Structure 1
Amino acid sequence: MARKFTASKTHLRPDPRYGSKLAGKFINCVMHNGKKSVAQRIFYDAMELIQKRLPNDEPVDVFTRAVENVKPIIEVRSKRVGGATYQVPMQVNKTRQQTLAIRWLLMAAREKKGRPMAVKLADELVAAFNREGIAITRRENVHRMAEANKAFAHFAW
């Protein structure tokens, strides 16, 4: 049976400037309507802004560390047991951790209004690098929900 989606991991190319597969994946997530050159310009402008703000750190390392800081370790999933729905805490696998981190970073950057996307993205990446900002708050909320519902952990099978 044919698959609905292709596995992006098999077709994913590293970005041209830094040679990072994570950066290539992030650029693809920034992209709208197939305009990859626009997404690349946004990402690389954000990297230049990060370089200016944190001159001692390599911008790709700041980006990678920001994504690592936002990755959730545990999340809650709804599980229906005997007519009741429980929020069951479960471990998050590596690919989903990365996907959620990228999604939350972009969502946090897009929520801010009134400035160019590259500036908003740089702000959010630096904030995540310093373990603060909207994306980190979201991660903490997910962990707090999992902690509050750990009484239902025995439903995770």
Structure 2
Amino acid sequence: MFKSIIRRGSLIPRTCVRFNSSKPAQLFPQIYPLNKEKITEEDLDKWINALKQLKHGKKIHETEEEIYLGQITQPEQFITKKFEPSLEQIEETYQYKNKQIPLKSDPTVDNFINLIMRHGRKARAQKIVSRAFYIVQLKLRKDPIEVLKETLNKLGPVVTTKSMSTGVAKRKIVPIPLNERQRNRFAITWILEASKNRKSNDFAVRLAEELINAYEGKSSGYDKKAQMHKQATQQRAYITL
């Protein structure tokens, strides 16, 4: 078996290429010069004997074949080149040191898509949002997801009111605080309602224009937010802690 492998020349070239070592590459031509026409049976016996000695754990290598095989079985001594980063790479590393790995999908964007979706056609809603974000990116030269989050944070109301029974004929209007998801829902709903009044036939264009308008503080949703807060302020006497 060893003879057929060596005769085909598959063992020796692989070891030379794999380890990219200068020592075995220099030693091998000494054992078998390039001008040597063929490998004799005696040469094969030397290699087979060297393999057997190496397999049995011989520590002291005497023949050239044993030295060569001992070198390629311990490639660590030839791997001396170490990676040294440049100053630019080190600076770039510090820039991303405190950065978190981004999520596969953003919860705020997913909520935005779900409120746009109609009749279970989520792929269509995702396409509309992607096109709208692309327009926002071109217009503002900012990350559209950050634009959306900042817009929802500014447009979303903090409190709303709810009609509650008092046990008698008259009902009372009670202010109720909103969590982040509820605030975003109000803001997204107002953006979608305002986008319907725009002139473009493409919903993605209308959505992008209204999102930019709301980001700049010009949306009609701010009037609805102010009215909601005003009503809650008027009914502050009914707040229960």
Deviation at 1:93, TM superposition (A): 2.4
Q: Does 1:84 align with 2:187?
A: no
TM-score, length of structure 1 as denominator length: 0.77
Alignment of 1:4-153 (within 5 A): 19-55=105-141, 57-81=142-166, 82-112=168-198, 114-153=200-239
Tell me, in whole angstroms, the C-alpha distance in 2 between the residues paired with 1:94 and 1:44.
Answer: 23
SS, match of residue 196 in structure 2:
helix
| C-alpha contact 1:73 1:92 (8 A) present in aligned 2 | yes
Percent sequence identity over matched residues?
A: 26
- Aligned AA for 1:47? F
Alignment deviations for residues 20-43 of structure 1 (CA, whole Å, 9 cap, x no partner): 121112111111111112111111
TM-score, length of structure 2 as denominator length: 0.52
Distance 1:104 1:15, change over 3 A: farther
Tell me, in whole angstroms, the C-alpha distance in 1 between the residues paired with 2:197 and 2:117.
Answer: 16
Aligned residues: 139
Higher CA-based Rg: 2
| C-alpha contact 2:157 2:183 (8 A) present in aligned 1 | yes
SS, match of residue 88 in structure 1:
strand
Distance 1:138 1:35, change over 3 A: same
Greater displacement, 109-118 / 81-90: 109-118
| C-alpha contact 1:15 1:24 (8 A) present in aligned 2 | no
Alignment deviations for residues 68-127 of structure 1 (CA, whole Å, 9 cap, x no partner): 112111111111212212222121123322222222222222344553211111122112
Distance 1:80 1:112, change over 3 A: farther
Query: 5+ residue gaps in structure 2?
Result: 1-101
Distance 1:115 1:137, change over 3 A: farther
Query: 5+ residue gaps in structure 1?
Result: 1-13
Divergent runs of 4+, >6 A: none
Greater displacement, 134-143 / 109-118: 109-118
| C-alpha contact 1:15 1:23 (8 A) present in aligned 2 | no
Tell me, in whole angstroms, the C-alpha distance in 1 between the residues paired with 2:103 and 2:110.
Answer: 4
Tell me, in whole angstroms, the C-alpha distance in 2 between the residues paired with 1:86 and 1:112.
Answer: 38
* The structure with more strand, counted as a fraction of residues: 1
